[in-house]
Homo-oligomer: A and B are copies of this chain.
Amino acid sequence: MLKLYDGGLDVPTILETWYTEESKSNYGAFIPFIGTIRDEDDIEGLSFDIYEPILEKWFKAWQEKAKTRNAVIKMAHSRGDVLLHESSYIACVFSPKRRVALEFINEFVEDFKASAPIWKYDLKNGKRIYALDRSTAIKGSGLLGVK
């Protein structure tokens, strides 16, 4: 389950929906990760561009990986502007086992940061400034720069 929303996420409602959806699935461990916009560097918020076709393929590959460990993953992300102290990202894993869940949420969130085709912009004085210094080049980048 991957769902994109315009603007900040309604975290309590999303968490309740996910928990309820799996309430009879017999998973022993449920670990959500919630990312919230911090007030720092004089920003007014953040803004996100998402390239959905590749995001969906990336997520599908992780769903398959989760299945091999009898786990389930879900994810929600914001599109466009998200203000200070609002949340822009929720990922979660359900698993029969505690260890699997703890390891999986870690791997999933780290790969999300390194690979998911989402671009972040600082909102400053009403302008959108690409956060290049906090961004990560996708593995294999630079191919077209080779001479």
A-to-B contact residues, CB < 8 Å? 11-12, 15-16, 19-20, 23-24, 26-40, 85, 96, 98, 101-102, 105-106, 109-110, 113
Contact = CB atoms under 8 A, between A and B. Distances in A.
A109 B105 contact: no
Contact of A38 (B26, B85, B101): B26
Each complex incorporates copies of this chain amounting to 2
B24 A29 contact: no
B29 A34 contact: yes
Contact of A102 (B16, B26, B32, B109): B109
Nearest to A38: B28
Contacts of A110: 102
A26 B85 contact: yes
Q: Which 8 A-B pairs have the closest CB atoms?
A: A12-B16, A30-B34, A28-B38, A102-B106, A15-B15, A31-B33, A26-B38, A26-B39
A34 B32 CA distance: 9
B32 A36 contact: no
Contacts of A105: 31, 102
Given A12-B12, A12-B20, A15-B15, 8 more contacts: A24-B85, A27-B36, A28-B35, A28-B38, A31-B33, A98-B109, A102-B106, A102-B109
B23 A28 contact: no
A102 B29 CA distance: 15
B35 A32 contact: no
